[in-house]
Structure 1
Amino acid sequence: MNSRSPQAGGCLLFLAILVGLVVGLNKGLTGPGLIYGAIAGIILAVGFYLFDRRQRH
């Protein structure tokens, strides 16, 4: 059993959504800002997961 605990990438998703919201508010387009932020956060979280998984094996 591996003693190294996995890292959490959910904070990246949350922060990307918040950044997308702020950018969207500044441009007057909150909907697309949230969507783009969510997409970017999902990509970052999946990438972080794959990187952490590769490090554990």
Structure 2
Amino acid sequence: MAYVIDENCIACGACQAECPVGCISEGDIYVIDQDSCIDCGSCEGVCPTGAAHAE
């Protein structure tokens, strides 16, 4: 199951700091590199807006 960050992202950086493999990068909103993501769900647990979620 792939994790994504949707348009509800407020670019707070909480998800990037929590990712154990460093697959989240900053842009207009944060983006998850699908090839590097290990589907751990850490980003989902810390996202204040629910933008990070399993797809």
More helix by share: 1
Higher relative contact order (CA 8 A, sep 6+): 2
Same fold (TM over 0.5): no
* TM-score, length of structure 2 as denominator length: 0.30
The structure that has the greater radius of gyration is: 1
TM superposition score normalised by structure 1: 0.30
Which structure has greater strand proportion? 2
